[in-house]
Amino acid sequence: MQKHHRYYAKVILIFFLPFFLNGCANSEPEGIEITPKEKTLVVGERLSFQASAISENNEKIPGVAFKWTIDGQKGIIDENGLFIARMPGNVTVTAALGNITGQAHINIIPMENIGIEGQTDKEEGSAGTTTPLNMKVLSPEKDEIRMENKAYAKHTEGIHIFTHKKHAIEYPLKYPDIYDKGCGECHHDEDNNPLTDIEYGDPVKNCIECHKIPGYIKNKDAKEKGLTTDAQKREYHANAIHDNCQGCHKAYNNKMGLKFKDKGYAPTQSKCKICHPK
C-alpha cells in the first residue's frame, strides 16, 4: 500500500512540477514604477529615469525592457529613459511593457539666471540626477544674444540679435527633416563637420576663435587676394557666420517653397536689413 502511495506521489510531482517552476520563473508584472515620479527641470537640463516591473507579490522583476515615450514636443527621451527638457511646460513620461504602463510627471521652467557658467557633466547619472546648464543669454524671457564682438574696432552694420533657443530647440522640433544635426547645425569642428556630441547648454568656442579675421571679404576682394575657396573666405569671421546662417535659411526656403517676396521667407544676403537693422 505504501508503495502505491509513493508511486502516485511521484507521478503527481512529475506532472505538476513544470507548471510550478514555470510560474515561479515567469512572474507576470502587475504594474510599473518609475523613479522619480515628479521633477522640476530647467530648459536644457537632462534627467535619467529608471523603471521597474512589479509582480503581484510586490517584488521587482529583473531583466525587463521598457518602451519610453512622452506626450507633446517639449522634450525628448531615449530608449534608456534619458530625458532632455527642450521647452517650458508640463510633460508626462510613460514607460510601457505591453499593455502595462507607469507614468512620471515633469514641470519644465525657463532659464531664470543670466550668464550661467560652468562645465556640463556629460555622463548619465543615476535616477533623478540632473546635469547643470552652461548658457549665456542677455534676457531669458526674450531669448536674446547680442552678436557684438570686441574683435571689431567698429561694426559697419546694425548688430544682430540672435534668438538661440528658438533656433536650437524650437525650429528643429518643428522642422526635424530640415534641421536634423542638433547643435551641429551651427557648431562644427576644424574640418567643418557637425559636432554631434554636444547638447543645448554645453560650453562651445566663440566663432572668432577659429575664424580669426574680423570683418567680411567680398568676392572681388577675395579674388584679388587669391582666396578662391569658401574655406579660405571663411577665415573672415563675418563670412563664416553669414555662410552658417544663410545655409540653414536657404534650406528652409527651398523646403517650404518660399521666394524672395513671400511671407515667412528666411533672410538671406539679399535681405540684410532684416538681420541688421540700423
Note the pLDDT tens digit of each residue in 83-121. 988 788 899 999 999 999 999 999 988 765 333 333 333
250 membership: H or E segment, kind and range: helix 237-256
pLDDT for the residue 25: 46
- Residue positions counted in the chain: 278
The whole-chain average pLDDT of the chain stands at: 79
Provide the pLDDT for residue 87: 80
Q: Is 87 left (phi over 0), alpha (psi -120 to 50) or beta?
A: beta
Judgement on whether residues 151 and 75 belong to the same structural domain of the protein: no
- The dihedral over CA atoms of 35, 39, 45, 48, expressed in degrees to the nearest 10, equals 0
Residue 19 has pLDDT above 80, yes or no: no
Q: Say whether both 210 and 100 belong to one domain.
A: no
Residues 182 and 98 in one domain: no
Q: Which pLDDT band, with edges at 50, 70 and 90, does 179 fall under?
A: confident
- pLDDT band at residue 235 under the 50/70/90 scheme: very high
Domain contains 101: yes
Claim to verify: residue 150 and residue 240 sit in the same structural domain: yes
Residues 270 and 198 reside in one and the same domain: yes
pLDDT at 112: 52
pTM of the complete model beyond 0.85: no
Give the whole-angstrom CA distance, residue 49 versus residue 83: 7
What pLDDT is recorded for position 4? 53
Task: Provide the pLDDT for residue 10.
Answer: 54
pLDDT at residue 113, as a whole number: 38
| Residue at 9 is within a domain | no
Q: Which domain holds residue 100?
A: 29-109
How far apart CA 5 and CA 37 sit, in angstroms, is: 55
Q: Map grid coordinates 514604477 to a residue.
A: 33
Lowest-confidence region among 29-38, 63-72, 124-133, 204-213: 124-133
Check residues 133 and 51 and name the one with the higher pLDDT.
51
pLDDT at res. 217 = 93
Same domain, 84 and 161: no
Closest by CA position to 85, among listed 115, 105, 103: 105
CB count in 10 Å sphere of residue 136: 11
Q: How far is CA 22 from the centre of its chain?
A: 43
CATH number at residue 105: 2.60.40.10
Spell out where the chain has E strands. 29-35, 38-42, 46-48, 50-55, 60-61, 67-70, 75-77, 82-85, 89-97, 100-109, 145-146, 161-162
State the pLDDT at residue 102.
95
pLDDT single digits (tens) 141-157: 457 788 888 888 888 88
Work out how many domains the chain is built from and give that number: 2
Residue 201 has pLDDT above 80, yes or no: no
* Gap between the Cα atoms of 262 and 122, Å rounded: 42
pLDDT at 208 over 70: yes
Q: Which of 94, 109, 124 is the C-terminal boundary of a domain?
A: 109
Closest CA to 81 of 48, 106, 129, 36: 48
Q: How far apart are CA 60 and CA 155, in angstroms?
A: 64
